[in-house]
Amino acid sequence: MARLYDSRRRILVTGGAGFIGSHLIDRLLKRGDEILCVDNLFTGSKRNIDHLAKHPRFEFMRHDVTFPLYVEVDEIYNLACPASPVHYQYDPVQTIKTAVHGAINVLGLAKRLKCKVFQASTSEVYGDASVHPQPESYWGNVNPIGPRSCYDEGKRCAETLFFDYHRQHGLWVKVARIFNTFGPRMHPADGRVVSNFIVQALRGEPITIFGDGSQTRSFCYVDDLVSGMLRLMDTGPEVTGPVNIGNPREVTIRRLAELTTQMTGSGSDIIYRDLPQDDPRHRQPDITLAKRLVGWEPTVTLEAGLQQTIDYFKALLPKVSTNSP
């Protein structure tokens, strides 16, 4: 329910100090919204939102979404959850609490306020997919008791909660399944393949590939992803999702390593390590629904996005330790 005393939208972004959340907030502020950024800074960083500290329409609240939140807003984007294996496996119990209890708390808030709520789900709900590329109709192939399950099953349960609130309470929900995203503000030690490769290449360290490098991923630049999220959020109530938001261009991990060394001018060798348990062999979104229902498809090439990300890390690495939050 919109607040009667102000025509400007006040939007809550949980996980707003994270990589994706901070870019989303930049775009929301640019279009004139008022933002409440909520983050417990477990994986998010004040560095990502420092440039907004004095912005008159930006407010930061340090808060853990596993506890209820009592605020007044017009829309909610729920992005709070560790999203890289290094981080979500560090404390798997807290990860699943963040995904599930966080969803319950956000949905309860949206129910009270009668407002629209967005869930940042993930391609990991498809698990080690046996269908390729992955359409939203595919139910997935997920190990419910493996080391990645805290994240995979946590996000699957969150989707269930969103659609049960929609069916039972008539809540206006939007669910996006986000595929591998990269760009500036990635944490240098988050363990994701793009940041790993760039950091290793810039330091002249061996580039580490897990497995034989034939496994594939599809990488979406963060600006494209945010555009897709905004477009989905602005659709009518008949569009609930889930909708895949990602770049359908598929590349092997080996090719990504080669491209990274070329673009950084690095002389790094490539070394191989054992593939982690339950690591997906293929990941590629079918974005037919995104094109038809949301009017969205990515426009930034992998090479252009990598150049922006490399430039960011070149500027960042001399200033911070890779272990700093």
Q: What is the pLDDT of residue 6?
A: 63
Topology, domain 10-180+221-247+285-300: Rossmann fold (3.40.50)
Tell me the mean pLDDT in the region 46-64.
97
Confidence of residue 27 (pLDDT cuts 50, 70, 90): very high
Write out pLDDT tens, residues 61-107.
999 999 999 999 999 999 999 887 788 888 999 999 999 999 999 99
Write out pLDDT tens, residues 120-153.
999 999 999 999 999 999 999 999 999 999 999 9
What average pLDDT does the chain have?
93
Omega cis (within 30) before 242: yes
**What proportion of the chain, given as a percentage, has pLDDT over 90?**
86
pLDDT exceeds 60 at position 16: yes
Tell me the mean pLDDT in the region 40-45.
94
Angle, CA of 247, 224 and 286, to the nearest 5°: 25
Q: What is the pLDDT of residue 202?
A: 95
- Strand 58-62 relative to strand 10-14: parallel, antiparallel, unpaired? unpaired
CA dihedral 149, 150, 155, 161 (to 10 degrees): 110
pLDDT exceeds 50 at position 323: no
Tell me the mean pLDDT in the region 276-300.
93
Tell me if residue 77 is catalytic: no
Give yes or no for a contact between 71 and 109, defined as CB atoms under 8 angstroms apart: yes
Dist. CA 227–CA 307, nearest whole Å: 20
Dist. CA 202–CA 139, nearest whole Å: 39
**What proportion of the chain, given as a percentage, has pLDDT over 70?**
96
Choice among 22-36, 44-58, 136-150, 269-283 with the minimum mean pLDDT: 269-283
DSSP annotation string for 210-271? ESSS--EEE-EEHHHHHHHHHHHHTS-TT----EEES---EEEHHHHHHHHHHHHT----EE
Alpha helices in the chain (DSSP H): 19-30, 85-88, 92-113, 149-169, 193-202, 222-233, 253-264, 288-289, 302-316
Q: What is the pLDDT of residue 87?
A: 80
Q: Enumerate the domain spans of the chain.
A: 10-180+221-247+285-300
Q: What is the pLDDT of residue 3?
A: 54
Q: What is the pLDDT of residue 144?
A: 95
What stretches of 31-148 adopt beta strand conformation (E)? 34-39, 58-62, 75-78, 116-122
Q: What is the pLDDT of residue 32?
A: 97
pTM of the model: 0.93
Q: What is the pLDDT of residue 249?
A: 96
Write out pLDDT tens, residues 237-282.
999 999 999 999 999 999 999 999 999 999 999 999 988 887 788 8
Catalytic pick from 88, 126, 151, 165? Answer: 151
Tell me the mean pLDDT in the region 213-228.
96
Omega cis (within 30) before 325: no
Confidence of residue 322 (pLDDT cuts 50, 70, 90): very low
Contacts of 271 (CB under 8 A, 6+ apart): 206, 207, 208, 209
Write out pLDDT tens, residues 157-168.
999 999 999 999
